[in-house]
Amino acid sequence: MYRLKAKAIIIVFGSVLFILGLIALATLLSDEVRWGPEDFLMAGVMLFGLGILSAITTKYISKKRTQIIVIVLGVLMVLLLWVELAVGIFGSPFAGN
């Protein structure tokens, strides 16, 4: 079982809230950004998951090269899911188009 310190979880949670706060501000100030509650929820879940993956990776994997590979693969997975949900590049039933 992986156990992270509360400090790591607070840093990840704070970072996600900061990013989502910037997007919320852009939603309020611009007509170009139109996010609904479901968009914020999904982005928060994905970013929090990526942050926790990164924290676990840096804590429990000692080789830097392996850490980088795991984190880059996590970022790519989040980006692919994000793009699929936004515009549906794979044509899945839950795509955004």
Is residue 63 domain-resident? yes
For 13-52, the pLDDT digits (tens) are: 999 999 999 999 999 999 998 999 999 999 999 999 999 9
% of the chain surpassing 70 pLDDT: 96
Q: How many folded domains does the chain comprise? A: 1
| 49 CB-contact burial (10 Å; exposed 0-12 / middle 13-18 / buried 19+) | middle
- Please give the pLDDT value at position 77: 95
Is residue 77 domain-resident? yes
Range of the domain at 77: 6-87
Average pLDDT score over the chain:
91
Is residue 96 domain-resident? no
- Please give the pLDDT value at position 2: 64
Is residue 68 domain-resident? yes
Q: How confident is the model at residue 1 (pLDDT cuts 50, 70, 90)?
A: low
Is residue 93 domain-resident? no
